[in-house]
Structure 1
Amino acid sequence: MKNRTVPEVSRALLKRLARLQQRKYRDREGLFLAEGLRTVRELLGQMTDPDTLDCLVCTSEGLALFPESSLYSGALFLASEDDFTRVAGTSSPQGVLGVFRQPVFPFPHERSYPGQAILVALDELQDPGNVGTILRTAAWLGADGLLAGPGTVDFYNTKTVRSSAGSLLGMPHTRTGNLPEALGQLQKAGFAVICSSLDGVDFRSGGAWPERIVLVIGNEANGVGPGVIALADRLVKIPHGRGAAKVESLNAAVSAAILMERILL
């Protein structure tokens, strides 16, 4: 595609893109940024509604790497390398940036579940890579949704978006201002709250899993908070291998993946 066929990005749009690096503007506009060819392609592939895409902004090099961008010509704009770097939010941008509408999902207790169901609750997870990886893993293994409590990094942080591999558009995810209260509502709906905790029992020895589960993954350094632990129907841990453990704990995303695999497969 020749660059002259693509309109140049306006200063107003550049200003808007820069603002979307901040969560308050993302929430206000209901939009999020995705930077990088692979990330943008993954999200475009997950779209079920063309209106989910707000716009695409590419450099000349980005356009050369992204020939299918011509399919979105009405929403496609060309940016200089300098302008792109200022709005991309990464140190080594790839020249392809997408702006997408944030999907809206019902709260977990408002949904219906025909049979077995597993939700993953995040209690003050602060690493966007962990949150994105948990989203991706939950989508792969067939979990029913994620619920983030206060203190958990924004689902639409650009690093979270990148590590979620396009799963943001299809995997139900919501936030709550009071995680213990939300978990209590789910318990009333028949869910068992199971927390990952170093004080728990071996996850392989707790007997059959309940049909409906909320698996709670806690903060990377401090684990699940006491207010949530107090609600737990079961505490489980992943034991270390032979001999003394050479590290204090597992990565939060790895722990979530191991437990989801055991419950779902």
Structure 2
Amino acid sequence: MELNEGNWLKVAEDFKILWQYPNCIGTLDGKHCVIQKLPNSGSAFFNYKSAHIIVLLALCDARYCFTIVDIGAPGRHCDGAIFAASRFGRALNNRQLHIPPPRTLPNSEKVSPFVIVADAAFPLKENIMRPYPDRRLTPSKRIYNYRHSRARRVSENAFGILSHRWRVFRRPMHTKQSTVCTSVKAAVCLHNWLMKGNHNNRNRYCPQGMADEEDADGMIRPGAWREDAQYGAMQNMPLSARNQRAVNAVTVRNTFEEYFAGEGAVPWQWNVLPNM
């Protein structure tokens, strides 16, 4: 995707319509891809699970497609360091991604910047939202975490579909680093091509039930990809032990919290709240 304001606004419109999270330009996630030990690599690719790893870091749109990817970082680095060192992380921090300026949230006077939704493996920043820590949360914070989780599942499902459909991710990759990176890049490109292709191709690649689905009460029906997720060579990244929060980032998240519990509420969230 070409990085310009027009394309970001299209992504944000999809998140508003499909996932009821306005001013969202993507969900951020990273996966550990297990590889064989690379020659002369020492411990650079050796991670906390005693496996040799390269990292696939990706931003996803609302339709399970990858918009930005960073492939090949050594697995021994923590998530924050990988993101900060990536071209994507540097461009975001330096405001070089041509993200639109802050905008009023729908049916509200509250103003928010456009944000990326991520899990607790990533830092809380003005343009990156992570959930509230799960400790004695107020009802409005629990509602925020639910709405946050709904949007974030997009990247979780995108990675799940990718690893389910491409058998290269079913077991450790036994080849040199450049080939591993090329293989992962090819799988991502083919995934996007099939997801954006004609109706028949998309339905064959990602049929109904492949991704998570919601019923009328907001309860989740797990997607088919989850059945074999535990057997693959693509693993979740560890949660971040540090969270250097900026005041602006906390303010932005609090704005979304108030919005989702107020004028931006969806009817079924109150049904889900007792089960959280």
Q: Same fold (TM over 0.5)?
A: no
TM-score normalised according to structure 2 size: 0.24
**Structure ranking higher on relative contact order (CA contacts 8 Å, 6+ apart):** 2
Bigger strand fraction: 1
Higher Cα radius of gyration: 1
TM-score normalised according to structure 1 size: 0.25
